[in-house]
Amino acid sequence: MNATRIARMIDHSVLHPLFTDEDLKKHCETAAKYHVATVCVKPYHTRQAASLLQHSDVKICAVIGFPHGNSTTGIKVSEAHQVIADGAAEADMVINIGKALQGDWEYTENEIKQINDSCKSHNAILKVIFETDFLTRDADKIRLCKICSKQKVAFVKTSTGYGFVKGNDGKYNYEGATEKDLVLMRKYCDPEVGIKAAGGIRNLDQLLKAHELGATRIGASATDAIMKEAIQRFGWPD
């Protein structure tokens, strides 16, 4: 492992709802500085991010149906078309969580298939976000792994980073990418399907642990802190 390999695993997340165009510019500078895999942006920021990073090796990833997955399939397909046209090479879609919870796997698979087919037809790749904090039954996660394997999506992804669950005390809690879920997803997805760990990965040791458990892509907003740790530990090539 080295700092360069670590950087190429990171999708640098720029998804906070309060981020402005100026915030996007600053985060794209961070992404380019470390040569991360992608900058992951809100749909309307796709074109601007592509322009800002056009002379770098950082690809653009845009989210679809974010963060709760409740758009119709048709809207999600249209959103995929739009972000790819605007410069995205990768798309991260949120499943319809309610449909998964009620066991409507025909709907769920059809939605994933349509969006994945659309991405592939435009030479883009799809990551499917389960939002594991909302899916409490392992059987549902396993079923999604098998559907995504059947449809040959590029990646499955644990979380949006915004899947907060309201408890009986009225407070919101969030786990994100847990070790248990990463092990499950790697076990039940075909080897060709990558695992993206997202949600709660804020330091180098958490990233390395996720990688050890099978994740080859990491969603993180704390990229600068992670990379500073990586450079201090492993050095940075000249």
Give catalytic residues, as residue numbers: 92, 157, 196
Q: State which amino acid sits at residue 237.
A: P
Distance CA 180, CA 184 (A): 6
Tell which residue, 54, 61, 76, has the closest CA to residue 194: 61
Query: Looking at beta carbons, which pairs linking 108-111 to residues 24 or more positions away fall under 8 Å?
Result: 108/144, 108/147, 109/147, 109/150, 109/151, 110/73, 111/73, 111/76
Instruction: Indicate the DSSP class of residue 174.
Output: -
Give the pairing of strands 194-198 and 155-157. parallel
Burial degree of 55 (CB within 10 A; 0-12, 13-18, 19+): exposed
DSSP tally for the chain: helices H, then strands E: 10, 10
Of the chain, the end-to-end C-alpha distance in Å amounts to: 17
